Amino acid sequence: MYEDNEQLTQTGPLDARDAPNFCHDLFSFLQFYQLIARPNSFPASLQEKSGSNAFWVNWIDGEPALVLLGAEAEKYVLTHSSDFIFGEGGGYHIIAREMFPQGVLTSDGEIHDQLRHAVLERLTPRKFQQEDCNFLLQCMAEAFTSLSGRVNILKLAQDITFKYAIYLALSTEGEDKLLVAKLKKLWHSFSLAAFDIFRQPNNPLLPYRYAMQSREKLVEILKGIIDKRREMPPQDDILGQLMQVQYPFEQNRKLTDEEIINNLLMVIYAAHDTTTNTLTFLFKELERHPDAYHHLEREIEDKYHPGEPCTPDSLANLPTLAACIHETLRLHPQVSPLPRKTIHEMIIPVDTKDGSIQLYRVAEKTLVFLMPGRTQRMQEYYPDPDSFHFERYQQRLTTHPHGKRYEPPFSAFGGGSRSCVGEKVAMLEMMLFVVEFLRRKRIISFWQNPYIPTMNGPLIHPFSQSIAIQDRRS
C-alpha cells in the first residue's frame, strides 16, 4: 500500500486473541446489528475507545469476529483470498444461506471457481458494447423521456437496474415485459429477507415469512424457464452459462435446477440492489454538491452534441463522472463488513495511528471483517473524510500525516479472487444511466442536508429519495 515499505517500522507479531475485545460489553449481543447499521460510526467509536485498528466484536450467531481497519490489513486480506473460506461458516452464509445457498458468493474451492467463471463469461465489456448498451439505451429512453417535476430516483434506478439484471440472467427483451413485471413484484418482497435479522419463517408479524413465500414463487417461475431452456439450443446469458457448469470431481454431474436457481437469485441480487443504491446515493450527493453537479453537467455537454448517441467507448473518457461514482462508493460502499474466515494461522499487518505497522498472529478458523465503510472514511487516508470531493481522484497518491506516500484504500468492489465479477458492467451501466439522464434533465433542487436516511441490511440501502428536475429544452 505504501510507496516505500522500507520506511515502515513493524512490531510484533502480537497474538490477535490479545486485541481489545468488546464481545463482553453490555449489549454485545447487538454488536452485529450496529456493525451493519452504522458501518462507519460504530467501528469508529470502538477504534476510538480501544486506540486500536484491530478488535473483537460479536457477529449474528454469537461468533466473535476480528475487525481489521486500515489500508494495510485491507490490502493483505484481499490479496490473500485463497487463504480464506466464504461458504458454510464464512460470514456471508449467515445472510445468504436461506436466500441463495450454494451460490457463487457462498461457495468455496473448485465449484466457486467454476461458478465465478460461468458468471464472468457473460459480464464482459465486449458484450456490453455489442448488446447490453443498446438494451439499456432503449430502457432509459422509455423511462426518462416523460419524467417531470419531482422524480423518485431510487424507484427509477430500481426499474432500470432490475430490467438489466434480468436481461443478463435470462435474456429477456421487449416481449417479456409481463414476466419482468411479475418477477419485480416478487423480488421486492423477497429482498426484504435480507433486512430481517430475526429470520423466523413462521412468524406472521415479520417480513421474513412473506419474503420466503415470494422466494418460492420466484423459484417456481425460474424452474419453468429452465424447463423450457432444456428444449432449446444453449443461450448466451447467465442461465445458459450456469447450465453448462460441470460439477468438479463428479463425472457428468451438472448443476441441479435448485443450484442454478440459487445462483440466478444471487446474481440478480448482486447486480440489481447494489447499482440501484449506488445510483441513488450518487444523485443525492450531486443534489447536495452543486459544484460537482455543474462540473459533471459541463463534462457531459462538452462530450456529446445534441442527438449524438452515447457509445460505450465514449464512456471511457468522462473523468468527472468516473470520479463522482468513485467518491460515492467511497462514502457509501455497499458491502461493509466484508467478511472472510481464515483457513490456517496467518500473520496479518495492521497499520497503527503513529504510522507504524503492527503484526497480528491470527488463528485458523477466525472470522475476520474488513470495514470499507470505516476505512474509506479514515482521516489519515482521506482528508475531510466525510465530505464529497470528486477532485480527490486526480492524484493517485496522497501523503499520510506521518509523511509516507500511499495509495488510499478503496475496496467497494472487494478484492482478490473473490472480487466483484460485475464491477466493469456495473460501472458502465451506472455511467450510462447518469449520462442519459443528465442529457435529458437538469437537477434544480439543491438540498444541503448532510444526512441521507438509510435502511441497512447486508447492503446499505437509501430510503426512497426524490429530486426536482426540469427538461433540458426548457
Q: Which CB atom, from 408 or from 415, has the smaller least distance to ligand HEM?
A: 415
Using CB under 6 A, which of the segments 290-298, 299-307, 309-317, 410-418 binds ligand HEM? 410-418
Task: From 110, 109, 107, 161, select the one nearest 136 (Cα to Cα).
Answer: 161
Q: Is 119 in the site for ligand HEM (CB under 6 A)?
A: yes
Q: Is 338 in the site for ligand HEM (CB under 6 A)?
A: yes
Q: Of the two residues 310 and 371, which places its CB atom closer to ligand HEM in the complex?
A: 371
Site for ligand HEM (CB under 6 A): which residue of 46, 219, 420, 469? 420
For residue 223, CA distances in Å to 233, 245, 437, 464 come to: 17, 17, 36, 32
C-alpha angle 49-457-328 in degrees, rounded to nearest 5: 80
For residue 187, give the nearest of 264, 242, 115, 133 by alpha carbon.
Answer: 264
Residue 105 as a binder of ligand HEM (CB under 6 A): the answer is yes
Site membership for ligand HEM, residue 410 (CB under 6 A) = no
Rounded Cα gap, residues 248 and 264, in angstroms: 20
Stretch that binds ligand HEM, among 175-183, 266-274, 292-300, 383-391 (CB under 6 A): 266-274
Smallest separation, CB 270 to ligand HEM (Å) = 4
Please identify, using beta-carbon distances, which residue of 358 and 454 lies nearer to ligand HEM. 454
Question: Positive or negative, the Cα torsion across 432, 438, 443, 449?
Answer: positive
| Cβ nearer to ligand HEM, comparing 25 with 159 | 159
The interface with ligand HEM within residues 221-240 (CB under 6 A) comprises none
Question: Which of the stretches 14-22, 267-275, 308-316, 358-366 binds ligand HEM when contact is defined by CB under 6 A?
Answer: 267-275
Alpha-carbon separation of residue 363 from 18, 23, 56, 205, 344 (angstroms): 12, 17, 13, 41, 7
471 bridge partner residues:
441
**Residue 433 phi, psi dihedral angles, 5° rounding:** -60, -50
Total residues at interface with ligand HEM (CB under 6 A): 27
For 66, phi and psi rounded to 5 degrees?
Answer: -90, 115
Residue 168 binds ligand HEM, judged by CB under 6 A: yes
Cell of 299: 463534462
Return the residue of 139, 154, 160, 335 that touches ligand HEM, per CB under 6 A: 335
Binding mask 269-288 for ligand HEM (x = CB under 6 A): -xx--xx--x----------
Beta-sheet pairing, 357-362 with 10-15: parallel
Is 99 among the residues that bind ligand HEM (CB under 6 A)? no
Q: How far is the CB of 472 from ligand HEM (least distance, A)?
A: 26
77 binding ligand HEM? (CB under 6 A): no
**Interface pick for ligand HEM out of 97, 116, 361, 400 (rule CB under 6 A):** 116
C-alpha cell recorded at residue 329 = 462508493
Q: Which three cell numbers stand for residue 12?
A: 510484533
Of the candidates 318, 312, 339, the residue with the CA atom closest to the CA atom of residue 90? 339
Which residues of this chain interact with ligand HEM, rule CB under 6 A? 104-105, 116, 119, 123, 168, 267, 270-271, 274-275, 278, 329, 334-335, 338, 412-415, 418-422, 425-426
